[in-house]
Amino acid sequence: MLHLLDRIRRWALSSPSPKERGGLHKRNDLHLARKFFHMTGGLMFLTPYLFFGFSKEYMAALLGTGLAAVMSLEYSRARWEWVNAASVKVMGPVMRESEVNQLTGIPFYLASCLFAFLIFPRHVTVLSILYLAFGDPSSSFFGVLYGRAKIFPNKSLQGTLGGFLVCFAVTGLYLFWQGFGADKILLLTMLGGFAGCVAELLPLNIDDNFSIPVVSGALMALAFWCAGLPLS
């Protein structure tokens, strides 16, 4: 084991990292690999819950274990240069340049999904994670490509509208699949699009990977309750 760790350490420190080669992306880059990683992460957590009968408690246990493992890695990155160098080389395609010497978005992503499974009822859990998986990268995609009208320094009208449309669409598809009536679907898709874009747009000093599902989930729970609809 020690021999393996030594080999990894020497490999990590011996060759140029993606950062040294100028290969890491900045926040305002299109960064399609990161967006794909973002979307597949949410689907990976929802698939066993929706299609294979995994309970919310079991999913929370899996996410909690994963979060503990990731935080251990983040601590090791901060403590040992070679661990950070190895992590950057492995995760370089989905990392941002700003994450090399600070927390990545992964622990925030896992923490928000864990929060959703622990706190929200079934439909809201699913929708909040869908907004995280698809709404957030869609806002970024449209904002980077077409974002001319700035609302905040890192937020644009075009990105917000793109996120609204995607959250609107995923809400409608999910509710249709769950057998909701047309009138309820129309109401909740509008509210879902609004909740997703508000959560993305709010200038909170919290990582978007955490704030988006928490804020959008709270708004959707309120919407379900006000409309007198079942939450699970």
- Does 118 fall in a domain? yes
What integer pLDDT is reported at residue 230 of this predicted model? 76
Q: Give domain status of residue 24, yes or no.
A: no
With H, G, I as helix, E, B as strand and everything else as coil, classify residue 151. Answer: strand
Q: Which pLDDT score is estimated for 2?
A: 55
Q: Does 49 reside within a domain?
A: yes
The answer to whether position 4 is within a domain reads no
Instruction: Identify the H or E element spanning 78.
Output: helix 56-79
Mean of per-residue pLDDT scores for the chain: 89
Grade residue 20 by pLDDT with cuts at 50, 70 and 90. low
Predicted TM-score (pTM) of this structure: 0.91
Which residue segment(s) compose the domain that 114 sits in?
Answer: 30-226
Q: How many domains, the chain?
A: 1
- Average confidence (pLDDT) over 85-106: 92
Whether 22 is covered by a domain: the verdict is no
Show the tokens assigned to 104.
Answer: 């990545």
pLDDT on residue 94:
93
Contact present, 189 and 171 (Cβ < 8 Å):
yes
